[in-house]
Amino acid sequence: MAENKVPTDIKKLSFEAALSELEEIVRGLETGRGALDDAINAYARGAHLKSHCESKLKDAQARIDKIVVGAEGAVSAEPADYE
């Protein structure tokens, strides 16, 4: 479905920036003030931000899972693939 595709501007956000914006949207929606259409648009953007944050966390977990601790305590890791 095309409507589940994360917009390009959100894809460019760091985890921290996306989470901060998501928190701001949640606070705004919790107040219940504002126009219904604005609330719906904010909710949709929040859903995309949530998806982006989940993807970033999944990527981070995969990078962490690549770290291997040897029997003698030596730590080795595959080269990080930072974006």
Q: Which of 40, 44, 36 is nearest to 4 (CA)?
A: 44
59-82: average pLDDT: 72
Global confidence as pTM: 0.75
pLDDT digits (tens, 9 = 90+) for 17-68: 999 999 999 999 999 888 999 999 999 999 999 999 999 999 999 888 888 6
Instruction: Tell me how far apart the alpha carbons of residues 44 and 31 are, in angstroms, rounded to a whole number.
Output: 17
Given a cut of 90, whether residue 79 has pLDDT beyond it is: no
Q: List the chain domain ranges.
A: 2-76
Given a cut of 50, whether residue 1 has pLDDT beyond it is: no
